[in-house]
Amino acid sequence: MVERTEELIHLPDGTVLSAWLFLPDATGPRATITMAHGFGGTKFHGVEPVARKLAEAGFVVSLHDHRGFGESGGEPRHDIDPYQQIEDWRRVISHLQTLDVVDADRIGVWGTSYAGGHALVLGATDRRIKAVYSQVPTISGTESTQRRVPPHLTRELERSFAADELAQARGKAPATQEFVNADLAVTASYRNTDAINFYLQEVPEGVWENRVTVQSNRRARSYDPGHWVDRITPTPLMMLVATHDTVAPTDLALRAYERALEPKELVLLPGGHFDPYLDGFDASTDAAVRFFRSYLQAG
């Protein structure tokens, strides 16, 4: 039986992050896994079943909303700063180390998509982390967006970024756009059917809106967490890569994996970016459980 409790993490600037703590049916300090969702998601977007499966395997599991999203505090809402999210995640780890149920020397990180990129950076720069699981990770925002945005639209995109910066300097609120929309007449971050279906899945009212700040996309264009992959060693790394991923391109992830040093393991999952939560759920979670048992142990 897994128990889910509410946990609040207080950040240095006064922001409070909302987290769920999943407790296995066991006593004493346990190996612990800290989890977060990717770009613009919340803990309500398909990740809780993963957390429960890890907890059923004997781990304490923490799953938090990034600042400005879900049930976490933070302004402006729907604003994504990858480096701020990483620093917040470090404080989550520190908070976990204060809990009696957590073995402070056996903490692993689980990240998916954008947070899969965060997991690479954290694994390379924070030696408190003893195992790194990175699923369908962002590797290079630079290369990904060069593929996603046609060259003839790049100048227009840059103008929109600059106009928003100027408007904010004059006291305006940050500009936002839709997160997912198939209509080419509507500015949106993602248009593919899989992303639309995933992000527009039913979640509790008030915890997510289909919008994101314009500057979130600007930051994403220059976020290249794959730069850190060869510095994770000697911390163990597992990368799960989808074979037909067009959101976090498969070839970029495989090239990054080749640069990673031992100990490392690659899991290739048939399908696209969202299949680890869907048709590939058992395969992806079984791999994560096996990995964390190898390097953290559940007991």
Confidence (pLDDT) at 298: 56
Residue with tokens 């480096």: 83
**What is the reported pLDDT for 26?**
81
CA angle 134, 136, 141 (to 5 degrees): 100
The residues of the chain scoring below 50 in pLDDT are: none
So what's the pLDDT on residue 1? 87
Torsion angles phi and psi, residue 205, rounded to 5: -60, 135
The whole-model pTM stands at 0.96
Sign of the CA dihedral running 23, 25, 29, 33: negative
Q: How is the chain classified by DSSP, letter by letter?
A: --EEEEEEEE-TTS-EEEEEEEE-S--S-EEEEEEE--TT--TTTTTHHHHHHHHHTT-EEEEEPPTTSTT---SSTT---HHHHHHHHHHHHHHHHTSTTEEEEEEEEEEETHHHHHHHHHHHH-TTEEEEEEES----HHHHHHHHS-HHHHHHHHHHHHHHHHHHHTTPPPPEEEEE---TTS-EEE-SHHHHHHHTS---TTS--S-EEHHHHHHHHT--GGGGGGGSTTS-EEEEEETT-TTTTHHHHHHHHHHPPSSEEEEEESS-TTGGGTTTHHHHHHHHHHHHHHHT---
CB under 8 Å to 144, separation ≥6 — which residues?
A: 138, 248, 249, 252
What pLDDT digit, counting tens, does each position of 212-236 carry?
999 999 999 999 999 999 999 999 9
pLDDT at 149: 83
Q: What are the angstrom distances between the C-alpha of 234 and each of 6, 28, 109, 130, 196?
A: 33, 28, 15, 9, 38
Domains detected in the chain: 3-144+224-295 (3.40.50.1820)
Position 299 scores a pLDDT of 56
Q: At what angle do helices 82-97 and 114-125 cross, to 10 degrees?
A: 60
What are the tens digits of pLDDT across the range 97-106? 999 999 999 9
